[in-house]
């Protein structure tokens, strides 16, 4: 089975497999890898298809680990794919169909309870409508556990036994309404995520020879040719085969201005043609697109339970014994079994199962509506707890589109133009900001870029290539020193660059300094306001990290008013610093965009990838910003905190309602129906209000208008 090495540093390797292949073989692969001497930990993700391996580099080399993967491949490929079991199928139905069926059934039973229907018939219908809960209670009793399922089933059976059919039917109906709200919220969130890739009702003009036909996006096949006009969002990843256009690619590349696209250029789903016309060959569609891969991860995680929900459910289970004691005392005090039954209704189980997931999933949906993709409930919870924000400098606090302002040659046989085309050859396979700046300069000079015969990258430092019978080094001061290149000739230019906050990139040929590129990057317009907004939210610290030289980093940090900034950092240095912050008890969010940020993004409590981040950065990040500036970091924090505040409000409502039920029932002032309406009714009403609140709220979104025309509808 083919795999891709997505990221590697000393002691850590991340490989990516096809998602469907890994989903059925993850356990076997992890078990075999853990048996390899020197492997410390293995963590596979069936959602992203990636496997992270941490190993002892003194026991096994990276190449040795790759050899082990190669040796495992035939055995894993021949292993039968695990079919979805009944439990998995039921879990899927529980989100989409079963809650609706239970709601319909319980509504019919509640209506029947208000009509003159024989008691025995009503009793059977009520118990049948809540059969799943009764089965869960039976399982819990079989395991000698007294939990919320047992309490709910006992209350229902007691109500039915005493002939209180309206109360028991109402109890079942409110529970089914709550379950339906959660399921509906999850499904709505998934649909809103799919809409980020392509409108499900969108049609495009497919071209086959001389035939042109409007078809739905879902009907497109790999290799189809489609036509896209100005004002329309691209629904696929593909290659331009005809036409020219300006395309807004900020969601994928982070470039704020539209870029020109013509034949043989790549285009991506969720980007917008702002001017012109394109014919595009379909390479990937739907969830297989670059944006779709992120969406796939989130929509899978949306149905997972959050840590706060798990905790609330455990606490609700612990309250069962106390509820039973209170019910007994209340019944004795009021001398009424109905009072005891009313108190039994006062539990926190429904708030944990309905109120919490509704608040969490609804917040994920609202975040996606403003271009913020939060990868699941746990990421949202951690984001709400963040008290320290760490920014990468290049491409995050700065625009990420530096310009080459000066080129100096130190070798008579190489002109500045020669340095540009050779450097462009070295960077031709890369997308990081320095590479884009040099390639942009080469395009402006119409330079003929040679093809390198070999390329070796040192992440965060530089690149080494063989080109035109020369060994070319291109990179930072540290990179050149590590290769033994004397930089004395460039000392004056380097100092001058640092003085104005610019970054020098050196070129060496066959071990000797050949030239220097001076690159200047502008601070993002919203960087200062974002830092001020974070401080206004009582962050313990806002920190800047950079792999750049200390002097230009200092200039940027001082312009932002940042007291804590660190420079000359390798990727592992950034990760180590974040580990130190976490060791101090901080909850750290790392904001970055590049390959050299991936390790830090993964190490942080919350990794946030800015628009246009490298694929490995968006893969390991917990939050992905599709568009907008650094203000979206602040918006994400606000949304997460609002979600947790919503959870607290729900629990507070449930707590107050339950206290009221216990107090009123103890004095015989609350019947079972009243108690059910106070306890369960208030929780369900709060969940409905939470789910019904319009998305976006106080957040202003920038949405591109999509013009409907003859090609895209």
Separation of alpha carbons 593 and 570, rounded Å: 15
Separation of alpha carbons 699 and 689, rounded Å: 19
- The answer to whether residue 94 is catalytic is no
Q: List, in sequence order, the alpha helices (H) in 287-391.
A: 290-301, 307-318, 320-334, 337-344, 349-350, 356-369, 377-385
Q: Please write down the long-range contacts of 134-142, taking CB distance under 8 Å and 24 or more positions apart.
A: none
Q: What is the 3-state secondary structure (H, E, C) of 375-409?
A: CCHHHHHHHHHCCEEEEEHHHHHECCCCEEEEEEE
Q: Exposed/middle/buried for 551, CB within 10 Å: 0-12, 13-18, 19+?
A: middle
User: Crossing angle of helices 550-560/491-499, nearest 10°?
Assistant: 10
Looking up tokens 């390798």 gives 570
Active-site residue among 317, 392, 597, 638? 392
What H or E segment, with its residue span, contains residue 520? strand 512-520
Say if residues 227 and 711 touch (Cβ distance below 8 Å).
yes
Q: Please write down the long-range contacts of 325-328, taking CB distance under 8 Å and 24 or more positions apart.
A: 326/662
Token pair in block for residue 495:
């100092």
Say if residues 606 and 589 touch (Cβ distance below 8 Å).
yes
Buried b (16+ CB within 10 A) or exposed e, 479-506: bbeebebebeebeebbeebbeebbbbbb
> Among all residues, which ones are annotated catalytic?
392
């Amino acid at each position: 089975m083919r795999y891709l090495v997505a990221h590697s540093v000393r002691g850590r390797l991340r490989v990516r497999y096809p998602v469907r292949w890994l989903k059925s073989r993850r356990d076997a692969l992890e078990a075999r890898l853990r048996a390899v001497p020197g492997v410390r930990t293995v963590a596979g993700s069936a959602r992203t298809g990636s496997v992270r391996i941490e190993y002892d580099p003194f026991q096994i080399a990276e190449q040795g680990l790759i050899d082990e993967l190669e040796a495992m491949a035939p055995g894993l490929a021949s292993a039968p794919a695990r079919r979805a079991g009944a439990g998995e199928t039921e879990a899927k139905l529980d989100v989409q169909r079963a809650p609706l069926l239970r709601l319909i059934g319980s509504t019919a039973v509640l209506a029947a309870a208000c009509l003159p229907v024989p008691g025995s018939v009503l009793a059977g219908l009520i118990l049948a409508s809540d059969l799943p809960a009764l089965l869960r209670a039976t399982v819990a009793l079989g395991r000698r556990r007294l939990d919320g399922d047992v309490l709910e089933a006992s209350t229902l059976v007691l109500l039915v036994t005493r002939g209180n059919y309206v109360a028991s039917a109402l109890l079942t109906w409110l529970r089914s309404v709550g379950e339906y709200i959660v399921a509906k919220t999850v499904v709505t969130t998934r649909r809103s995520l799919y809409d980020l890739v392509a409108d499900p009702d969108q049609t495009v003009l497919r071209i086959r020879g001389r035939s042109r036909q409007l078809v739905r996006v879902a009907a497109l096949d790999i290799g189809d040719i489609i036509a896209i006009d100005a004002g329309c969002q691209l629904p696929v990843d593909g290659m331009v085969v005809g036409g020219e256009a300006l395309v807004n690619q900020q969601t994928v590349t982070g470039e704020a201005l539209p870029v020109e696209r013509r034949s043989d250029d790549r285009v991506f789903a969720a980007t917008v043609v702002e001017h012109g016309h394109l014919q595009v060959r379909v390479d990937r569609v739907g969830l297989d697109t670059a944006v779709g891969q992120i969406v796939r991860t989130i929509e899978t995680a949306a149905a997972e339970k959050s840590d706060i929900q798990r905790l609330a459910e455990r606490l609700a289970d612990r309250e069962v014994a106390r509820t039973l004691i209170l019910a007994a005392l209340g019944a004795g005090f009021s001398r009424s079994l109905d009072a005891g039954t009313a108190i039994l209704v006062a539990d926190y189980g429904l708030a944990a199962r309905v109120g919490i997931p509704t608040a969490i999933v609804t917040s994920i949906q609202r975040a996606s509506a403003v271009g913020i993709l939060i990868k699941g409930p746990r990421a949202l919870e951690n984001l709400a707890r963040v008290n320290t924000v760490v920014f990468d400098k290049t491409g995050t606090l700065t625009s990420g589109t530096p310009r080459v302002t000066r080129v100096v040659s130190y070798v008579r046989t190489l002109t500045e133009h020669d340095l540009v085309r050779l450097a462009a050859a070295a960077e031709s396979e890369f997308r990081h900001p320095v590479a884009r700046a040099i390639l942009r300069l080469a395009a402006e000079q119409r330079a003929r870029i040679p093809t390198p015969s070999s390329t070796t990258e040192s992440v965060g430092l530089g690149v080494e290539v063989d080109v035109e019978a020369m060994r070319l080094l291109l990179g930072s001061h540290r990179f050149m020193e590590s290769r033994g290149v004397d930089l004395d000739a460039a000392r004056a230019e380097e100092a001058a660059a640092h003085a104005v906050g610019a970054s020098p990139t050196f070129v060496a040929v066959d071990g000797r300094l050949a030239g220097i590129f001076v690159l200047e990057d502008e601070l993002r317009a919203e960087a200062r306001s974002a830092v001020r907004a974070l401080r206004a939210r009582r962050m313990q610290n806002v920190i800047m990290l950079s792999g750049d030289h200390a002097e230009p980093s200092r200039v940027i940090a001082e312009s932002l008013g940042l007291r804590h900034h660190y420079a000359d950092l390798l990727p592992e240095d950034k990760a180590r610093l974040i580990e130190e912050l976490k060791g101090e008890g901080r909850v750290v969010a790392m904001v970055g965009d590049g390959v050299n940020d991936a390790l830090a993004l993964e190490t942080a409590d919350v990794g946030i990838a800015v628009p246009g981040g490298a694929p490995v950065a968006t893969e390991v990040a917990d939050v992905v910003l599709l568009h907008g500036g650094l203000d979206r970091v602040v918006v994400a924090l606000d949304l997460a905190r609002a979600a947790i505040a919503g959870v607290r409000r729900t629990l507070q409502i449930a707590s107050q309602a339950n206290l009221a039920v216990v107090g009123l029932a103890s004095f015989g002032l609350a019947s079972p129906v009243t108690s059910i309406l106070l306890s369960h009714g208030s929780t369900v009403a709060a969940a409905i209000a939470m789910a019904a609140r319009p998305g976006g709220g106080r957040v202003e979104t920038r949405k591109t208008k999509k013009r409907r025309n003859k090609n895209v509808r």
